[in-house]
Amino acid sequence: MKDAHTSTRCRAGSPNPAAMTEMASLPGGVRRPRPTALRLLSLALLAVAPLPAQTIELPSVVVTAARTAEPPEQVPFSIAALSGEQLRANPASTADGALRSVPGFSLFRRSDSLSANPTAQGVSLRGLGPSGASRSLVLLDGVPLNDPFGGWVAWSKVPRESLAGAEIVRGGGATAWGNAALGGIVQLFTENPGATRGRLAAGYGEADTRSVELALSQPLGPGTLQVLGRDFATDGFVLVSPEDRGPVDQPAASEHRWLAARWRQELSPGIQLTLTARTYDEDRNNGTPYQRNASREDFASVALSGSTGPAFAWDAVAYAQDQSFASTFGSVNATRTAETPASDQFAVPAEAFGAAWTGVWKNDTGRTSAGLDWRRVRGETREHFTFSAGAFTRERVAGGTQETVGVFALHERALAPRVRATLGGRVDLWRETGGHRRETERATGNVLREETYARRDGVEFSPSAGLVWQPAAGWRLRAATQHSFRRPTLNELYRPFRVGNVITEANATLETERATSAELGADYTQGALTLGAAVFWNDLRDAVGNVTLHRGPGTFPTVGFVPAGGLGRQRLNLDRTRVQGVELSARWTPVTTLTLTADYLYNDATVRSASAAPALAGKRLAQVPRHVAAFGASWQPVKPLTLTPRARFLGQQFEDDENQLRLAAALVVDLGLSYRLTASSELFLNAENLTDERIETGRSADGLVNTGSPRLVLGGLRLAW
């Protein structure tokens, strides 16, 4: 399928890092960030005088599929490329909300990061094995955003206003990127230091939602310094549907802030250095007085890129991440008048270290890209559980270490004047060590459970092949296939959890997920009209799922006590699932002031066999609708005014693995307006869910329904210089 194949990047930029902020205590052990330092620095930066505007034109290329720049018409996989201007014009208030204009992109649940718990912010591309742990790799400037411990994505780290663009590779890229790219790649690119001298966006809206984001670039000595920051807060909305909510329910408020600095310098002709540092913290209320979570992170990287002329170029990056997460969970009674603490995940320290090198060799007939990468993550959950007589009586500590190292090579060659082929292979070695789980009585220190898990390791081969044929002017036919893998996260292997009355047990013996994927596509462009179609097929083996084993009340093997109305689940491998479907797209620009887009995704995602739970065979995968459609436009009725309406249709889907809990279809209409005051300033007004559609995001076994964001109107000012 052909999308907006335009990007303003010629090479994957250097990753974004982090530093740390002071934290203050909240009830339940959750830590609350103190925003003082960032706010003071933001005020100081605002005092800096704007510098003259600078514009840099870059060729239209994409970099994500092969880790090196290539023309989009030569990529055999489905690529959606969105420019920074397109992302800023989108009426969604979050970066992930803007990406949902691509029908194949979704989070684990229908809520976006404005209200979703971070552990539910995993990415699903084309419905391939959705869960809180992403089966797609999400990158910011070439460095994974996926959480080291759980695989989910903290979308609030993304510099929405300073993005140069985004690329979504659906069903491809695993040969270049390896583990976690099983469903595809989402890569976000920050504007290079010096691309603009400054950006400022400030907005305010319903639910006391307020946001300020700033970016400044300043030449200093031999290089350029870029400073970026964001401060965001909202009072949120009540997550439980009006007919089910009670006195205990309250708006899911949240706030986050981050500060980043990037330094870019040319070390010598053809060699460039980029240093990045970022600090981030976030605090969320999850809809009841007790349930909260907080995140904080330190992140730093160093990147080098160089070339020796048009025939060879390379880039390298090394990064380190240190983060912590804390979360509390509660159980609410049937009348929703009282809440009982269920668990206090008071600390989840995690670390990630990584490095990569990629080179590309070009000649008159083809190009070869090759490289190697290494990533090591270590994490642990520390939590209190079993609430009795006003206190938690037990403590659990569980975690381990994962490490992967891989090498890859991709070769692209013209077989004929209108035919190009791509062939690649990758080998990964992985190992898991130090796996442990210890549970004790807090009062006495008695050990109730102590397990250490043997080292596990393996070797994975990830080949891919593609063919692009241009039989006539305006036509492009393509075919692609790949084999990919994903190791379960530390969270899936070692940490059991409880949400309300649903108890899910971990499984340290989970096998590696493997997928074989294929797609056929056709694109046609004639003047202002572009049409695309693709059929895709994925065979996923040993997909990790939260499988329902027991219904409460009662005490059961593996999961222990399950209260009335509750469910007992365990993470288990499903032998085989199949995800197949059709994508259609159209883009038409009849006049320069009007562009219309339409996209449709049909997705048949079913369990084919599951020896762990045979009754699941033939069931649809949870959280995957069969039908998704998106319609959009950009219209400039008069020169200063631009309208960007968007409508998304979400078909029916199931909340649970047994297909007992159905979530209704929804039609969501958004509208964005911008009014340009000068060449460098504009007013904007965004209305999400303009018709206040009911969006069902969750349904429990006892019938409780959660809903997504109601109508949310935000307005503000953007400046660029």
3-state secondary structure of 314: strand
**Least confident stretch, 101-110, 123-132, 336-345, 424-433:** 123-132
- Please measure the distance between the N-terminal and C-terminal CA atoms of the chain and give it in whole angstroms: 36
Report if residue 523 sits inside a domain: yes
pLDDT at 133 over 80: no
HSE, CB side, 13 Å, CA atoms: give it for residue 73: 12
How many distinct structural domains can be found in the chain? 1
* Omega before 553 within 30 of 0, i.e. cis: yes
Which residue type is seen at 380?
Answer: E
Local confidence band at 33 (pLDDT 50, 70, 90 cut-offs): very low
Given a cut of 70, is residue 201 above it in pLDDT?
A: yes
Taking only the tens place, the pLDDT of each residue in 331-344 is 899 899 999 999 99
Q: Is the pLDDT of residue 50 over 70?
A: no
CATH number, domain containing residue 316: 2.40.170.20
Q: Does 711 fall in a domain?
A: yes
User: β-strands 627-638, 641-650: how paired?
Assistant: antiparallel
- Is residue 4 a part of any domain in this protein? no
Q: Which residue has the higher pLDDT, 84 or 51?
A: 84
Does residue 1 lie in a domain region?
A: no
A 10 A CB-CB count for 658 gives 16
Answer whether residue 451 shows pLDDT above 50: yes
Whether 15 is covered by a domain: the verdict is: no
How far, in whole angstroms, is CA 387 from its chain's centroid? Answer: 33
- Alpha helices, DSSP H only, in 309-357? none
What pLDDT, on a 0 to 100 scale, did the predictor assign at position 159?
94
CB 289 within 8 A of CB 248: yes
* High-pLDDT (> 70) share of the chain, %: 91
Q: Is residue 1 scored above 50 in pLDDT?
A: no
Q: How many CB atoms lie within 10 A of CB 202?
A: 17
Cα distances from 620 to residues 75, 145, 615, 653, 662, in angstroms, run 31, 29, 12, 8, 11
Query: What integer pLDDT is reported at residue 178 of this predicted model?
Result: 96
What would the mean pLDDT of 603-631 be, rounded to a whole number? 94
Whether the pLDDT of residue 707 is over 50: the answer is yes
Which pTM does this prediction carry? 0.90
Mean pLDDT for 365-388 is: 96
Is 577 a residue whose pLDDT tops 70? yes
Q: Which residue has the tokens 């965004």?
A: 686
Confidence (pLDDT) at 560: 86
**DSSP E strand stretches across 198-250:** 198-205, 209-220, 223-234
Mean pLDDT, rounded, for 179-200: 93
Quick one: what percent of the chain has pLDDT higher than 90?
80
pLDDT band at 63 (very low <50, low <70, confident <90, very high): very high
Q: Are 672 and 690 in contact (CB under 8 A)?
A: no
pLDDT given for residue 450 in this prediction: 96
Residue 407 falls within a domain, yes or no?
Answer: yes
- Asked if 716 and 677 touch (Cβ cutoff 8 Å), the reply is no
Q: Is residue 10 part of a domain?
A: no
Angle, vertex CA 13, rays to CA 8 and CA 15, nearest 5? 140
pLDDT (0 to 100) of residue 25: 41
Least Cα distance to 622 among 664, 579, 655 occurs for 655
Question: pLDDT digit string (tens) for 275-319?
Answer: 999 999 999 999 999 999 999 999 999 999 999 888 999 999 999
Q: Average pLDDT for residues 211-238, to the nearest whole number?
A: 96
Q: Which of 214, 281, 290 is nearest to 254 (CA)?
A: 281
> What would the pLDDT profile of 465-513 be if each residue is shown by its tens digit?
999 999 999 999 999 999 999 999 999 999 998 877 888 999 999 999 9
Q: What is the pLDDT of residue 129?
A: 66
Within-domain flag for 5: no
pLDDT at residue 251 tops 50: yes
Q: Is the pLDDT of residue 52 over 60?
A: no
The confidence band for 41, taking pLDDT boundaries of 50, 70 and 90, is: very low
State the pLDDT at residue 130.
62
- The Cβ of residue 272 has, within 10 Å, a number of other Cβ atoms equal to 19
Domain around 158: 23-720
What's the chain's average pLDDT?
A: 90
pLDDT at 12 over 70: no
DSSP state letters, 358-424: EEEEE-SSEEEEEEEEEEEEEEEEEEEEEEETTEEEEEEEEEEEEEEEEEEEEEEEEEETTEEEEEE
- Pairing verdict, β 184-190 and 137-140: parallel
